[in-house]
Amino acid sequence: MQSGKSRLYPEIDFDAPGKRTGFLRLPHSVHRSAYGWIPIPIVAIANGTGPRVFLMGGNHGDEYEGQVALGKLIRALDPGEIQGRIIILPSANFPAAIAGSRTSPIDQGNLNRSFPGDPDGGPTAQIAHYIETELLPRSDFVLDIHSGGSSLTYRPSTLMRRPGPDRFDRGAEMMRTFGAPVGYMVDGGWGEHTLTAAAARAGTFHMSTELAGGGQVTPAALAIAEGGIRRVLAKLGVLAEAPAPSGPPTRLMQVRGQDYYCYAPEPGLFEPLVDLGDEVAAGTPAGVIHCQDTPWREPALAHFGHAGIVICKRVPGRVERGDCLYHLATDLET
């Protein structure tokens, strides 16, 4: 039986002017701490009237670029530089973030499969519920900063669910503004339990990223994250100015269905046959899966089911049947 009201308690006043730092207190009674709470860092920076922006990282705890970039932004921004209000939640699934893990070690929750959440559920469901019922309704625009995490690496990208005709041009413009090498629109996606779906329910304009990954932070990906966030804030009118993108213009692309993804057909060791940025045809061999327990057996071959550009690639060498090896994108069709 849901009570409807979140038990998370914010230490900061989102509507007060200035820079407020503190924690969302998530009550968590355990052996070590009977009346304790999980401290989820949250920041609000406000000055006058203007756009209301929500910046989020650490939706998946092993995606580090957004967490680092948002920490740097929190320390750098002076309230006098902005117009409007920014709420920053740098490590949204905090238990996962401090474990360096995609999912929470407390309840195994994947925050980005947990919306609309549950105020009476485990910590991950409670965080999802707080974001959906308290943070998204306070925001006109949300930027949710993902990367490939531990198992994948990306050509740095922005993405969004394909907007309707009334928002299509604005969506394309926001992806160009961020300035990553690729910006892609997704048809369908991962269902109704993602932040993307939650933002649609709240009427909040949503954009996400997939910035490199591979369980590390690279200077190149971090520079795209930091510059991209500031360019989006400037485009929205929150910041007066932002650095120009240093790379080529964003290539606008799309990801249309399951045949854009390539999976391991057998368990074993993954020998990649193509790399990020390569152009492939339907039927192109994607990878060899070597059989470890019977190495004299012929290895299995994975093939691409669609033509396109490789924008995502698996990192670890060991695979199970069903692990994602690659995904593709094709040029955006309007």
Given candidates 146, 176, 235, 313, which one binds Zn ion under the rule CB under 5 A?
146
Question: Quick one: which of 179, 180, 200, 178 has its CA closest to 188?
Answer: 200
- Could you tell me the smallest distance in angstroms from the CB atom of residue 121 to Zn ion? 20
Nearer to Zn ion, 154 or 263 (CB): 154
6/59 with CB nearer Zn ion? 59
In 3D, which of 116, 103, 102 has the Cα closest to residue 194? Answer: 116
| Count of C-beta atoms within a 10 Å radius of residue 164 | 8
> Which residue, 85 or 146, has its beta carbon nearer to Zn ion?
146
Task: Single out the residue of 86, 117, 68 nearest to residue 15, CA to CA.
Answer: 86
| C-beta of 60 vs 314, nearer to Zn ion | 60
In the complex, minimum distance from the CB of residue 54 to Zn ion, in angstroms, rounded to a whole number: 16
Subset of 238-267 contacting Zn ion (CB under 5 A): none
* Cβ neighbours of 111 (radius 10 Å): 30
Give the shortest CB-247-to-Zn ion separation in angstroms. 22
What are the structure tokens assigned to 122, written together? 């485990």
Q: How many whole angstroms separate alpha carbon 64 and alpha carbon 309?
A: 25
Q: Pick the closer one to Zn ion by CB: 19 or 62.
A: 62
Please report whether residue 327 would count as binding Zn ion according to CB under 5 A. Answer: no
Least CB distance from residue 110 to Zn ion, whole Å? 9
Nearer to Zn ion, 67 or 133 (CB): 67
Residue 96 vs residues 51, 108, 109: alpha-carbon distances, Å: 30, 9, 9
Binding mask 61-90 for Zn ion (x = CB under 5 A): --x---------------------------
- Report the sign of the C-alpha dihedral through residues 27, 29, 30, 35, in that order: positive
Count of residues of this chain found to bind Zn ion when the rule CB under 5 A is applied? 3
Give the nearer residue to Zn ion in terms of CB position, either 60 or 162. 60
Min separation Cβ 244 and Zn ion, Å: 27
Which is it for the CA torsion 107, 110, 113, 117, positive or negative?
A: positive
In angstroms, what is the minimal distance from the CB of 37 to Zn ion? 25
x/- letters, 34..63, toward Zn ion (CB under 5 A): --------------------------x--x
Separation between Cα atoms, residue 205 and residue 164, nearest integer Å: 12
Structure tokens, 304: 């691409």
Nearer to Zn ion, 46 or 185 (CB): 185
C-beta of 211: minimal distance to Zn ion in Å?
10
Q: Which of these, 137, 186, 124, lies nearest to 311 by C-alpha position?
A: 186
Distance in Å, CB of 60 to Zn ion, minimum: 4
Decide: 16 and 79 in contact? Cβ < 8 Å: no
Which stretches of the chain bind Zn ion, using CB under 5 A? 60, 63, 146
